Each structure stands twice: as structure tokens, then as C-alpha cells.
Structure 1
Amino acid sequence: MEMINFAKEIFNIEIEELKRVRDKISNEMMVAVKMILESKGKVVITGIGKSGIIGKKIAATMASTGTYAVFMNSAEGLHGDLGIISPKDVVIAISNSGNSDEVISIIPSVKKIGAKLIAMTGNPNSRLGVASDVVLNIGVEKEACPMNLAPTCSTTATLVMGDALSIILTKERGFKPENFAVYHPGGSLGRRLLMKVKDVMHKESALPILPIGSDVDSIILTMTNKRLGVVCIVQDDEMVGIITEGDIRRALKRREKFFDLKAEDIMTRNFIFVGEEIMAMDAMELMENRESQISVLPVLKGREVIGVVRIHDLLNVVGK
């Protein structure tokens, strides 16, 4: 219990320090946002040590949410990496003390290059703070470390300030989920927002297609062999109806005539279909958000059947 209570105490300390930093947010944030939005270049985030690690995360967040951003280790900047900075860029320098040697040492070059400089520091009156065009104050009163030495509250405050800046920029740019998905094609969100019906549909030889005059034997055999739970009925190369497993079960009620029935006797003529360019997520919504859910959709180009998509196929890529 002692360790659990101590863990909670650390959380409480960091939360309180975050509140203090939150209350310091001023018009400087607006100036920083405007500076970045008006920039014709990129955002270069720099720092050293723990601040550098946080800087990498902030750069990654910005890059994935519509702001062209990269990270440059301040020490590496002293040995040639300053070449990535152009006069059109905005540099965000992170140093809690505002006096980190490596960060301070690159300021003259940043100024000479002509880039704008935003400081994230806990000491606005530091050498970094004074040299910067804008200061975002991340100053905390204490660290969560009992010795008040290990960067804890200060790095958390820096991270949250970076998140605030990044997300404000995202909002101001009108960044949308589909934009986010472009930068995350391998993730579940990317699959949900980028995948189209044509990417998951069954096509060509896998398609269960029969002419309108087909008998029940042919329909059942095709449905069994193709294993999609549906048969598309065509006339003159145009789809005119669909037969599902449910249609077969309903037709069985007419047992005495069942094997005399033709496709046109049991097919559904007013069927739901989609085009190949519709988003997979939209197709799944069309299948589910209705009074009577459907599990299979034909995919048409004009009136020609070019594919079949099942709810199972969509769930595999879109998920819930």
C-alpha cells in the first residue's frame, strides 16, 4: 500500500504542476501558432537530454497531424546538422533551465540563418528566453522526484505544451481524420479511413453469377461452390436480382414446387448495391444501419456485377 500511495502522490504532484503551467498560458501561444501557420518552411524542434527526447515526440506528433516538423539534436546541430534549418523555418528550442550549453550555442547560427525562434523553457529570463521571438513558459515549481532532481514534472509539462501547440495547429489547419489516415496507413485508423470496397471485394472467377433462367439446382450448387452466401442474377449482362441463403430458406416453404422454381421466382429485385469506389467503412454502415441488416452487397459498375463484399470482409479491415 505504501508504494501504491506513493505512486498516487507522484500523479498528484504532476497534475498540480500541469495546472500551474496551464495557468501560465498567454497570448504567446497565439503568437507561436500564427508564426508557424504563416511559415513557408518547416518546424525544427531541438533540445538535448530528456528535453530532446520530449522534443522528438512533439516533432512526431506535429508531423502526423499536418505540420511539417523534424527533430534536430542540439549537440548534432553544433556539428553540421544546422544545415537542415532554412530561413523560412521556425525553430522550437526546448530547455527547462533555458541555459543548456548545447541549445544556447546554436542560437547565433539560427539567428544568422534567419529562422524564427520559439523557446519552450521554464525560465523566460534565461539566455534562451531572452533570445527567442516567443516564449512558451513550461516552468514548474518542483519535480516529482523526492530529491527534486530527476526531470519529471518539467518533462511532462513540456510534452503537454507540445501537445497543445500541435493540436491547435491541427484545428487551425482544418486537419481531418482522412488526412490523419494518410500518415498512418499501417494502423487501424488508416485501414478504416483509406480502404475502399474495391480493395476487399471478391471478384472475377470468385463471383457467383447466374442467368435469370437458372433453376434451383444451379443456384444451390453455385452458392455452395462460391461460398459467399449469395448468387447474383443477370440478364443481358445486367444484374436484375439477388438470391441469398434467406431467399432459399423462404422458397423451401413451397416444398412441392421448390425444384421447379427458377431464379426469377425467388430473387430479390429491389436489392441494395454499392460502387467499387465507396469507402469500406461507408459500405459497412450501409449494411448495418438499417431496419433489416444485410450481410452481403453486390458491387456494380453501371448495372454490371464486378464484385461482392461481405460484412465479414469489411469487419476484417475496418473493425469496430
Structure 2
Amino acid sequence: MVDHAKLLGTARRVITDEADGLRKLSDGLGDSFVKAVELLLEAKGRIIVSGMGKSGHIARKIAATLASTGTPAQFVHPAEASHGDLGMLTRNDVVLVLSNSGETPELADVVAYTRRFQIPMIGVASRPDSTLIKQADIGLLLPQVEEACGIGVVPTTSTTMTLALGDALAVALMEHRAFTPENFRDFHPGGKLGARLSRVRDLMHTGDALPLVTATTPMQDTLLVISQKGFGVVGVIDDDGRLVGIVTDGDLRRHMDGLLDRTAGQVMTAAPTTVRPNALAEEAVALMNARTITCLFALDPDISGKAQGILHIHDCLRAGVV
């Protein structure tokens, strides 16, 4: 029989041990962390991240996080580096090397190459007297804590701390550069996250696709525009091209008697709900849901008040914005 209480106890102990390691890591941060961030900011090339084994997996994630937050970065496997990939390193780069012990033999060629060609190197290890920390231009020390595995050999707490340290570096760089959600979307256009960060302007229809008529347009012609454009609505503009109203299915029903004897201006709903082109598509969906509508004209009243596009709820659904 599986001892449920024992399993839960083990899980809680592991998480507690790793949380303690993270607290000690946080408490131990100091000038070396600041110097490391400054060095990374000065890099004219990329951040090359390297590590072996479990540290290599963490290095890959750190490189990916840096790259997606505005700091060009690349993972280089130390074994492949010894067989030609050292050529990826240039004097414009900064190398970030991860090794809990600081003595990983597979990293020797990477370290030696950076020293030979004066390539700045940041070392991350838990032993201040290790080769990696001694050779590094800047050493970031991990607290010497027990691994959470219970037998002291499985990388658990150490890899968690290294990952958190990498995140801390990436976020510090990101905040210094005033990195925005829109910048993040530029690097991450795919998937659910990319969809959530889509802007109205990325999804809206523009130009000839816009269903627009003037206030004096007869309803017979207005109905043709609604049918041809396929949005189920039509925007009504004034003589200067500013959006002043909208004709919806509800407006048609309310004016059914004598509809064809009226103009668009007589049937329209004035001052319709609109959205700015640079608003998040997610905000537009929330607005449509709140107003129980399916379309929004996009306009920037600070520019001209002219309709720059139209967004349909189906556009958002197709893009994965829900």
C-alpha cells in the first residue's frame, strides 16, 4: 500500500528545503550581482550560457528567458564547444558558466577559451575556492545548502537556486531596459501567451474592408454595405470622416416600420462603443462581452476620430484570444 501521508510529507520537505535555499540565495545577493548585471548590459554581442548535466538544462532555460526578454542569448553545450562550437564565442560576448561544484571537467575548454581571448565570464558555483569562481571575472556564489533529495547527491535545491538566479538576472536586465509586454510579444508571437498580448491593430480589418456610410446614405444602400462587408454592422461617418454612429441589427429591428424610407443617420446609435488600436485584444474581448456586442470600431480620438479598423469577436477567437 502506498503511504499517502509519507508521500505528502516528502513533497512538503523537498519544497521547504528548496524554499530555504532560495531565501538564503536572496539574502546573500550583493555587489557581485550588481556587477554581473552591469557587465551583461555592456555586452555588445550575446550572452553565451553554458553548463553540463542538470546545470546544462538550467542553462538552456536561462538562455531562453534572456532571449525572450530583450537580451540576445544562446546556449552552448560544453562538450560540443570542445569540438568546434567555441567558434561561436566572440570578444563582444559575455559568457555565463554554471556549475554547482565549480569543477566540472567538461567546462574546462570553455573557461580556458574565455581567458585566452579576454572574453568576459561570469561564473555561478557554490564553492568560493572552486576553479570556476577563481577564473571568473565575476563570481556569483550559491549558498552551500543540502540538496533536497535526502541523500545529498541529486541536484535539486542547487538547480532551483541556479534557475532563480538566472531569472533574477533576466528580470533585472528587463526592468532596466523598460521592457514592455509589447516587446515580449515581438519575441513570443505564438501560443496562448502571444495571443493574450495581441493588440487590436494586429487583428482588426482596415481599408476597403471597413463598412462605412455617411449619415445621409439611404437605408437601402446601407443594408447593401452591411451585407457586402459581412460584419453585421455599418459605421456612420460625418463629412470629415469621423465616426459618429453605428447601425446594428438591433437598430434595424427598432426601426423596422418604414426602414427603407430612412437614412443611416436616422437609424444609427450615436456615439458607439469603440476601442483604441493599441489596446490589448484581450481588453477588446472583455469590452464586447460586457456590452453584449460582436464588433468594435477601432479609432484614436486623439488623432482624428476616424475609424482606423474594425474588430469582430470571431477575429479574436481565431487568434486564440478568449
> TM range, normalised to the smaller chain?
0.7 to 0.9
The answer to whether the 8 Å contact 1:43/1:68 transfers is: yes
Mapping for residues 75-224 of structure 1, pairs under 5 Å:
75-197=79-201, 199-201=203-205, 204=208, 207=211, 212-215=216-219, 223=226
Q: What's 1:58 paired with? A: 62
Q: Distance in 2 between matches of 1:89 and 1:221?
A: 61
Q: What is the TM-score of this pair, normalised by structure 2? A: 0.82
Post-superposition offset of 1:5? 1.6
Q: Distance in 1 between matches of 2:208 and 2:235?
A: 13
- Aligned-residue Cα RMSD (Å) equals 3.5
The answer to whether the 8 Å contact 1:204/1:307 transfers is: no
Post-superposition offset of 1:316? 4.6
The answer to whether the 8 Å contact 1:287/1:294 transfers is: no
The answer to whether the 8 Å contact 2:196/2:281 transfers is: no
Post-superposition offset of 1:117? 1.1
Q: Distance in 2 between matches of 1:163 and 1:235?
A: 53
Q: Distance in 2 between matches of 1:129 and 1:198?
A: 47
Post-superposition offset of 1:54? 0.7
Q: What's 1:296 paired with? A: 295
The answer to whether the 8 Å contact 1:86/1:114 transfers is: no
Post-superposition offset of 1:83? 0.8
Q: Distance in 1 between matches of 2:42 and 2:86?
A: 22
Q: Structure 1 243/10 Cα, relative in aligned 2: closer, same or farther at 3 Å?
A: same
Q: Deviations over 1:192-218 (max 9, x none)?
A: 4444446432875794869845346x6
The answer to whether the 8 Å contact 2:212/2:234 transfers is: yes
Post-superposition offset of 1:106? 2.9
Tell me which amino acid in the other structure corresponds to 2:232: G
- Equivalenced residue count is 314
Q: Structure 1 245/164 Cα, relative in aligned 2: closer, same or farther at 3 Å?
A: same
Tell me which amino acid in the other structure corresponds to 1:230: V
Post-superposition offset of 1:228? 2.8
Q: 28, 31, 43: which is aligned to 1:24?
A: 28
SS at match of 2:95: strand
SS at match of 1:99: coil
Q: Distance in 2 between matches of 1:122 and 1:54?
A: 15
Structure number with larger C-alpha Rg:
1
Post-superposition offset of 1:317? 3.3
Q: Distance in 2 between matches of 1:73 and 1:174?
A: 31
- The runs of 5 or more residues in structure 2 that have no matched partner are none
Q: What's 1:47 paired with? A: 51
Farther off after superposition, 237-246 or 113-122: 237-246
Q: What is the TM-score of this pair, normalised by structure 1? A: 0.82
1:265 aligns to 2:269 (yes or no): no
Q: Structure 1 227/208 Cα, relative in aligned 2: closer, same or farther at 3 Å?
A: farther
1:228 aligns to 2:224 (yes or no): no
The answer to whether the 8 Å contact 2:211/2:225 transfers is: no
The answer to whether the 8 Å contact 1:197/1:283 transfers is: no
The answer to whether the 8 Å contact 1:287/1:295 transfers is: no
Post-superposition offset of 1:75? 1.5
